Amino acid sequence: MNGLGGLNKSDNGVVIGLVQLQLPIVVTKEDLARQTEKIVWMVGKARRNLGTMDLVVFPEYSLHGLSMDTNPDIMCRLDGPEVAAFKQACIDNRIWGCFSIMEHNPDGNPYNSGLIIDDHGDIKLYYRKLHPWIPVEPWEPGDIGIPVIEGPRGARIALIICHDGMFPEMARECAYKGAEIMIRTAGYTAPIRDSWHFTNQANAFQNLMVTANVCMCGSDGSFDSMGEGMIVNFDGSILAHGTTGRADEIITAEVRPDLVREARINWGVENNIYQLWHRGYVAVKGGAMDCPYSFMHDMVAGTYRLPWEDQVRVTDGTSCGFAAPTRSFGKLGKAAE
């Protein structure tokens, strides 16, 4: 099925390349420009590396590094030079690309955003990270949901970012909206390695969905990112895995969205995303079709509260050097004004 990492591409296959990009240090505009050039060059490397590749994926923080610097001088805009360069690289190399930017936000902290650009240079997917890795990350929580697009060769694709993938609800939302492939870009470091492995596999199996996952790689002198590119099939089995920790290596595999569709239609046992709503359909017609989960009701009602809520010690970013915020999110913030 994997066709030797995409070397032998099937008629229904989508070949994905995951770039374990060397972790950069980016402090100035000049650094940002140099790193943009590096990413553009790596898009070309991906095409030269494998002529059958449909989509090349760069990790979270591939442009800005792990400094968590919110300096406005190095924040990006959708109409800025960095995104323009990524668009041109996709055109020049006739390939789809997935990219990471820290995006200027005139109304608050920057967004941690992801883009998928097609081989004509058009932005097809734009996503803002819903779950920043708190208390470490200062990014504004995303506010535009999880888009799902028709990607190369008709595959339905979603993008989530790093810590997002630790919440099973994120992968479930992607699949519920029709994603057959879920991309997860990350900047994770070695302590997260085991969690990275089993969540990537669980996200795939629980939703009958391919997951394509990649971290930054190497050291910037302070942090050591782990690479760990993983392409996981819809049954939870690993199709490709970057275990060497070699910076700038591109991990490749062919995936089959048509087999995802087939499994979602034909599986009985472990068709879990269908059975979530149709629980017990052997005993009752169509299944229970209810919502027995208290946390779901409470989130909708705005009353979500853990039994140990008052005992949680870390509830803002002060432990990581960030000032405690004073404004609320979204509609709550507007109401408070």
Active-site annotation, residues = 60, 129, 162
Residues facing 252 on adjacent strands: 17
Q: Residue 203, CB half-sphere, CA atoms under 13 Å: how many?
A: 35
CB 289 within 8 A of CB 277: yes
Pair type for strands 96-103 and 55-57: parallel
Q: Residue 275 in 3-state DSSP?
A: helix
Cβ within 8 Å of residue 250, ≥6 positions away: 17, 18, 19, 20, 45, 46, 49, 50, 56
C-beta neighbour count of 334 within 10 angstroms: 10
Distances (CA, A) of 276 to 147, 221, 287, 292: 22, 46, 9, 10
Phi and psi dihedrals of 177, rounded to 5?
-90, 5
Chain position carrying tokens 């299944």: 287
Residue type, 154: G
d(CA 277, CA 89): 43
Other C-beta atoms within 10 Å of 147: how many? 16
- What distance in Å separates the CA atoms of residue 236 and residue 182, rounded to the nearest whole number? 13
* Residue 184: CA count within 13 A, CB half-sphere: 30
Q: How far apart are CA 42 and CA 36, in angstroms?
A: 10
